[in-house]
Structure formats: structure tokens, C-alpha cells
Amino acid sequence: MVKRSSLKRKSILVLAIYLAFFITAVGGVSYLVVEPPIREQLTRNLDSRSKIISSEIEASLESPLGILQGIVSIGNSGKDANLQAEILQHLFAMSDGASVSGGLWPLPYVDDSTTHYASLFFNRAKDGVVDRIHSWNNPALGGYDGEGWYTDVENKPLGTVVWSPVYIDAFTHVQMITASSPYYVDGQFAGVATVDLSLESLIEYVQKHAKEHGLGVLIRDGQGEVVIEHNFKVAEDIYISEHKFGHFDWTIDVVNANRLVADQAYDLVTKVEMGIMPIMLLCVLFGYFVINRSLIDPIAHIAREVDDSKQGGIIDINYRSDDEIKHLINAFNQKTVFLEQEKKNALASTRAKSAFLATISHEIRTPMNGVLGTAQILLKTDLSDEQRKHLKTLYDSGDHMMVLLNEILDFSKIEQGHLELEKEPFPLESIIGSINSVYHTLSVEKGLSFKISSDVSKQRWYLSDKARLRQILFNLLNNAVKFTLKGSIEVNFTEVTLDGKNYLNIIVTDSGVGIDNAALEKIFKPFVQAESSTTRRFGGTGLGLAIVKQIAQLMHGDISVQSKLGQGTTFDVLLEMEVSQPLQAEGRKHKKLSYTGLRVLIVEDNRTNTAIINTFMSGKGFECYCVGDGEEAVQAVRANEFDLIMMDNHMPHKDGITATQEIRALQSDRSNILIFGCTADLFKETQERMLSAGVDCIVSKPIDEQELDDMLYRYSDKLYQFKSLDDCQAAASFNAEQQLVSLYIAVEDRNHEQAYEILSNIFTYLAPTDHRSVKELLAPLIQSKSLPSQQELDVLTVLLKDV
């Protein structure tokens, strides 16, 4: 059974898509929801950070201003420079923090008309030691009164404070900034006081703070010069917190150095999703479990059951819920039960129909043999033209009816599956010979050319059903002759090997009326003819091709057709054929035994058949005794001794089966008599019933000489149980009936020469007698050297009996 898992796969796929969709949706929505507050908070954070940093810077710069004011006060006091220097040194020694240097820068020559520059500039080293630096007082170096920090506050009102740009100190090599303010003595501008701040610790603080909070910081002074820069990178869509602070107009820009708002929002969303993912996964698994249990499993189960119940049977699963699936199961089961019942009915009616057809055709066939035989006999007598015309119509109609019956019987047998193929060795040449003799004559009579070609070796023998192969060819050739008004008919035989098996390919081509495309598809169906007028024009039942197709299929082959209206038709048949070794002719000869003096009881209700069997058996030398039913047969066996009984089945009063049973039940040697069941019934059941009633074997009607010989040989022990073979051989003598039997064989074998010889013998044998009908029948046959037809044989048999 095909394992189906598509539903499971589909549901897993759908749930996975659902999960992915859900996670994307949750992610998207969360992002949209959380991004604005995150952005707002980040903005607030950055603003407050920039304020914290700027106020820290402001505070750091505030305290040096106190020192500056102190220095201005020292300058304002106008005290002795030495005293001022002492106070300043003291002031710087005490101060800590960022103020590292500073002092008083008097107006040149303000104290002393000889001294150009008399600055009191002190520097506090890292170890806290305060030194006075005199280098600025060297006029050769240009002095200090031209420096920006001096000129910016020169003659400016008292209390003015000006901050210098950031610069790198020449001594300490650190970033510095200087605040300067003027001082006055006695209301006159007397110089400038300065304090220098080291930005080192400020930078350290800013860097540490920025690092701690992942910030990028940029601080610029009032002139826009960069004072401090730490990790300050500006990206697109980034928020910059900008803040101006202090008296000195510095600006601070703070950004988030590590991540954008989007990154943060993304982090948050990821966190949310990571949190809900396991829950979702569990939900999906649970959902799958539920769907699987309630939907997929029952459906898969139903599918399996449907697979198993293709040949019938209901779906038997334990499904409790009262839903659509339950409804589906119930509906399927109801339908199955209904269809099974219908199938039974159909089978029963087909069987009944076939049985009826078989019985009716069998029953009609038997009297029809008599009708046709009698018509033939009458046709040979002196009749007026009118009488002959009516009798001919009677014969033709009867003949047509026989063909119809035979085909119906054959078809119903095949339809019921009763047709079993025989397997006997035969040469292909014998088939070619027989179709040649029949259809050559028929074609020539109709003015058509007939040609057989064969690529198969002349020595080729097959192990197959010769009769059925001949039936296929006869049906196709009958049609070819029937539907061809001028031109030719050709048959070709070839062998092909397909999948290691041997096939015989037969192609029958005619130049006849052809079949139109619409009808081509239907002609292999029973009772179908290419057009409704066919029966009127050509006769036929529409069964021939259906039978051919069925037989071809039974022989593991097939048939196809190609045709063009008005141009002709080609049938292509392929049949699997087992190749056989040719049989030795001697092997068959030794089966001929002598039967002279043996007594045979022919049990047959039909007079024509009785006559035929009688002719056969007397031809072989048997003494024939005939009875008309089973009752008489049993009485005859009780009263007389016989060596063989030829037992028909369908008979009035008592049938063959019952009679056989009664004979076998006799309390004497006679119960062991050899009985051949002779039946025209082609159905296997009848044959089997006869065999189980006690007949030794079945000889089917019409009797085949070869088959009869074979059976007599095979059962010779039983045949000679009452009389020995030697006695029979001694009693053997020639008679005319034996000639008749030989004639049957010659006709069967299509042996024109032998038939001519026998017919001549019979004619000579009858010469002295006054049997006009027989002579009239024989003369044209001998003259034309043609084979007698079946009807002529029947008539000859009946007439010879009288003789």
C-alpha cells in the first residue's frame, strides 16, 4: 500500500508558517510599540548626561575663579611686589585641584620705571612645590603685554573675566585654559591677574563618565575649538544632546556611542520574542498534536481502509465523534454496501443472462442442425424454381441464425470467463494451409486477389490453442471478404520478441469499404457495427471482433485497427505464442488401433448427431447401437454387453449425468465400462459434472477425429477389457463408412488431394447402386477437385447412412 503522509507534512508546514508569521507579527508590533518610549527615554538620558557632565565642568571651573579673584585683590592692594609675591606663593601652595599656575602681570613700568616686565607668575608642580617663573619678564622674549589673555582684559572694568582658548602648556604639555581679569591701583589700570587651569583631570573625568555610560562626548569652547572629544561618532538618525554651559560659552554634544535607538528597540524585541518563542512552540506542538489526533490520523486511517477495501468491504474504524468525518465514513460504508449489493445483482443477472443464452442457444442449435440438414437434403431433390427459391431462403435464414447462435454462445462463454485455452502442439503451416484453401476460393469467387505472406519459418510449431487462433483468423478474414468489393486481401505473419517473450504478429489488410473514425473506437464492443445499415447490407452480429479481442487478450496479446473510409482496413493482432518442438508423424500413427467387432452404445437424442457419430464409429470398425435417452441407455447396458458408451448429456427422460451414475452403480463388470461424455455444451461446469458422475473423459461435439483417436488410444486398456485387441484386428475389414471418416479428416486438414481420392472411391463404390442424390452431390465436387462444405458433408453422411 502506498504510504501517505502528505497531510502530516502539510499540517507541519502550515503550523511552521503560522509560527513564523506570528513571530514576525509580534516582533513588528512590539517594535512599533516599544521604539518610541525607548527613543524618548534615551533622549532624556542623553540630555541628563550632558547636563551632569557640563555641571561637573562648570563646577571644576568655578573654584579657580575664586583664586582669580584672590589674585585680583592682591593686585588691587598695590602692596610691595615682594609682599605680593610671598602672598601669591602662599596662595598657590594652599590651592589644590585644577589651578596649577597664575599670578599678577603688572602694566610695564608701572612699579618701577626701570623694569619693563615684573610679572609675579607662580607654578605649582605635581609634587606641590610652588616655583616663581621669571621667563615671561625677559623683554627679549617679547613680553606678556601682547598676549591675548592680557589684551582681552586690558583697561576693562574691574571684575571682567575672560577665558582663553584651550592651549597646550609649553612646560607641562597638558591642555590648559587661562582665566584673566584686570586689577586697578588707585583707580588706574595696573595690570592683569591670571589663573591657569589644567584640563587633565577634567578630561579624565569626562572620558571616565562617557565610558561608563557608553557615550560619545564632544566639548567645544566659545570659539568652537574642540576641548574634549571622546568616542564621538555621528550616525544617521542618531540623537545628539547639545548643551551650552558656563560663563565661558562652552558647548557639550553627547551621543549614544554604542547603539542606535533601533538597536536598543531591536534588543528589547528580541528579548520579548525569546521569551514567547518557547511558549509559542509549545502551543504549536500542542496544536499539531490535537489536529493530528482529531483530523489527520482518522483521515489517514480512512485512506488506508479505503485502500484495503478497493475490492469491496466497508471502513471499519472506531471513530466516535459525530462530525463530518463520521458522516464521511458512514456515507462511504452505505455506498459500499449499496454498490456491493448492486455488484452481486449485476453478477447474478449476467450469470443468469449468460446461462440463459447458453441454454437457449444450445437448445436451439440441436433442432437447427436437423432443420438445416433436412433443407440441404431437400435442396438436392427435384424442386420447382419457386420451391427451390423458398427453400434457399429457409436455408440461408437458418444458416444465419446458426452463426448468430454460435457467436452468442462463444461470447457468453468468454464473458463468463469459461473460456480456457487449450495447449497442444501444431505447426503454423497447417493454419496457413487451411485459411489459404478457404479464403483463396472465396476471394477468387468474389473477384478479389488473396495473398498470404509469412516471415515465420515453415518448420515453426507452437504450443497453443490452434482452434482459437484459427477462429481469430477466420473472423478477420470473413470480415475482410465480406466488406471488400474489389481489390485485394492480404495476410502477413511475423514473429516478434517483446520482454523476452515470443509473439506472433498477424496483419490482415483489405482494400474494402473501410470504417470511419467515430466507429473505429467502438467496433471491438459486442453487438456494435460500424453503421446501422451494415446488417442490412452485409449481415453479421457485431460479435466477431469482440470475440477476437477477448481471445487475443486471453492469449496475452491484443488487436488494433487502422482504417480509411473507402480505402480499406488493416487489423494488427499480437498473440503470445510458446514455441514447440515439431512432433514426429510416427508418434501419432501408432495410436491407430483396430476396433473391429467392438460394441459401442451411442446415447444421443438428436438424430443427425446420432447419424454422424454412428458414421464415425462404424468407420472405425465399431458395431454401433443407438438409443435416444439415458433411460434406454441404462436398460441397454443391463441387457447387453458393450465395450464403449458415447454418452450425450442433454436428453429427455434421463440426462447423461444420471444415466452414467446409474451405470456406474450397477452390480456387475458392466459398471466399469468405458464411457465417453459427448457434449456440445462448452461450459466447463457441465463437463466437470459429467466427469464427476463417472464418465472417463469428455469428447466434445462436433467430434474431432484426431481427438477421438487420442482418447480411444489413451483408454485402450479399459476399451479392451472385455475383448482382446488381437480378436479385433482379426475381424477388421474395409467399409464405405471408414472412407467417410477419412473424408472428414481430409476436409479438416484441407487436403484437397486426399479428399478427391476418397470422394472418387465413394463414387466408384456407389456406381453400381441407384443412388442419384449421392452421385449428384459427388460429381461436381470430384470434377472441381474442391472440398465439400460442412453442409455437403452432413448431407453425405445422412445419405450414406441410408445406403
Task: Note the residues at the interface with ligand ADP (CB under 6 A).
Answer: 475, 479-480, 483, 510, 512-515, 523, 529-530, 534, 540-546, 569
At 340, which amino acid appears?
E
Between 476 and 708, name the residue whose CB sits nearer to ligand ADP. Answer: 476
From the CB of 351, what's the least distance to ligand ADP, in Å? 24
H helix or E strand, kind and range, residue 277: helix 261-291
Between 123 and 529, name the residue whose CB sits nearer to ligand ADP. Answer: 529
Between 286 and 527, name the residue whose CB sits nearer to ligand ADP. Answer: 527
From the CB of 445, what's the least distance to ligand ADP, in Å? 17
From the CB of 407, what's the least distance to ligand ADP, in Å? 7
At 525, which amino acid appears?
K
Say if CB 402 and CB 372 are below 8 A apart. Answer: yes
From the CB of 377, what's the least distance to ligand ADP, in Å? 28
Sheet containing strand 461-464, strands side by side: 424-427, 461-464, 578-580
From the CB of 487, what's the least distance to ligand ADP, in Å? 12
Kindly state the cell numbers that stand for 325. Answer: 468525518
Between 368 and 404, name the residue whose CB sits nearer to ligand ADP. Answer: 404
| Nearest CA among 784, 187, 160 for reference residue 437 | 784
Distance CA 717, CA 725 (A): 10
Contacts of residue 785, defined as CB under 8 A and 6 or more positions apart, other chains included, come to 752, 756
From the CB of 418, what's the least distance to ligand ADP, in Å? 20
From the CB of 512, what's the least distance to ligand ADP, in Å? 5
Between 546 and 740, name the residue whose CB sits nearer to ligand ADP. Answer: 546
Contacts of residue 332, defined as CB under 8 A and 6 or more positions apart, other chains included, come to 302, 306, 314, 315
From the CB of 415, what's the least distance to ligand ADP, in Å? 14
Go through 2-27 and write b for each residue having 16 or more CB atoms within 10 A of its CB, e for each that does not.
eeeeebeeebeeebeeebeeeeeebb
Sheet containing strand 250-256, strands side by side: 226-230, 215-220, 250-256, 240-245
Distance CA 635, CA 627 (A): 10
Between 484 and 614, name the residue whose CB sits nearer to ligand ADP. Answer: 484
Kindly state the cell numbers that stand for 516. Answer: 470511419
From the CB of 467, what's the least distance to ligand ADP, in Å? 18
Between 516 and 578, name the residue whose CB sits nearer to ligand ADP. Answer: 516
Between 250 and 411, name the residue whose CB sits nearer to ligand ADP. Answer: 411
From the CB of 399, what's the least distance to ligand ADP, in Å? 14
Phi, psi of 187 (to 5 degrees): 80, 0
Distance CA 310, CA 275 (A): 51
DSSP 542: S
Which ranges constitute the DSSP H helices of 483-621? Answer: 517-520, 534-538, 544-554, 585-589, 607-620
Q: Is 119 helix (H, G, I), strand (E, B) or coil?
A: coil
Phi, psi of 250 (to 5 degrees): -80, 155
Say if CB 703 and CB 612 are below 8 A apart. Answer: yes
Q: How many helices (H) and strands (E) does the chain have?
A: 25, 24
Between 491 and 746, name the residue whose CB sits nearer to ligand ADP. Answer: 491
Between 529 and 615, name the residue whose CB sits nearer to ligand ADP. Answer: 529
Kindly state the cell numbers that stand for 375. Answer: 433443407
Distance CA 759, CA 679 (A): 29
From the CB of 506, what's the least distance to ligand ADP, in Å? 14
Say if CB 183 and CB 72 are below 8 A apart. Answer: yes
| Nearest CA among 604, 579, 618 for reference residue 803 | 618
Between 373 and 540, name the residue whose CB sits nearer to ligand ADP. Answer: 540
From the CB of 572, what's the least distance to ligand ADP, in Å? 12
From the CB of 525, what's the least distance to ligand ADP, in Å? 9
Between 197 and 530, name the residue whose CB sits nearer to ligand ADP. Answer: 530
Between 101 and 541, name the residue whose CB sits nearer to ligand ADP. Answer: 541
Distance CA 339, CA 337 (A): 5
Between 489 and 659, name the residue whose CB sits nearer to ligand ADP. Answer: 489
Contacts of residue 182, defined as CB under 8 A and 6 or more positions apart, other chains included, come to 72, 153, 154, 155, 156, 157, 158, 160, 189, 191, 192, 193
From the CB of 789, what's the least distance to ligand ADP, in Å? 20
From the CB of 483, what's the least distance to ligand ADP, in Å? 3
Phi, psi of 197 (to 5 degrees): -110, 135
For Cα atoms 780, 786, 788, give the angle at the middle one, nearest 5 degrees.
80
Say if CB 325 and CB 319 are below 8 A apart. Answer: yes
Distance CA 420, CA 677 (A): 19
- Strands 644-647 and 599-603 turn out to be parallel
Distance CA 48, CA 46 (A): 5
Between 57 and 513, name the residue whose CB sits nearer to ligand ADP. Answer: 513
Contacts of residue 352, defined as CB under 8 A and 6 or more positions apart, other chains included, come to none
Between 523 and 603, name the residue whose CB sits nearer to ligand ADP. Answer: 523
Between 240 and 554, name the residue whose CB sits nearer to ligand ADP. Answer: 554
From the CB of 701, what's the least distance to ligand ADP, in Å? 24
From the CB of 542, what's the least distance to ligand ADP, in Å? 4
Between 465 and 510, name the residue whose CB sits nearer to ligand ADP. Answer: 510
From the CB of 569, what's the least distance to ligand ADP, in Å? 4
CA 803 to chain centre: 74
